[in-house]
Structure 1
Amino acid sequence: MRPHKAEAVVDALNAKGILSAIVAEMRPSEEGLRMIQGSMSRLLKHSGKDPYWSSFSRALERGWK
């Protein structure tokens, strides 16, 4: 989403009774994945693999619905 439209989306959702808020922003990938709280910034590491998908695949193989 374009940053300048984020507030309008939040307003539209809130007007329909859907509580929402802006909680993050997209930055250039060169900056890495960071969590910023107040004046603190720390680099987050990602393993590159989302464990959800291997669990999902196993469940499908076992016939779970």
Structure 2
Amino acid sequence: MKKIKRLETIEEAKAFASFLAAERNRHLEDIKNAEQDLLLLQSKWGIEIPWDNTYFVIAGD
């Protein structure tokens, strides 16, 4: 279970902001890589990319 910690000082706030920025940047890189993979699939197979919360189910899974 996660605890909520109140930020008490400017140093704590700066450290938390740095953490959040690093997490954001890490996820942005993951999204960029996934988008490149999707575009490769589109160009190779001519498929339409679903841009919503569509999930693919593989037969046998």
- TM superposition score category, shorter chain reference: 0.3 to 0.5
Higher relative contact order (CA 8 A, sep 6+): 1
More helix by share: 2
TM-score under structure 2 length normalisation: 0.32
- From the CA coordinates, give the structure whose radius of gyration is larger: 2
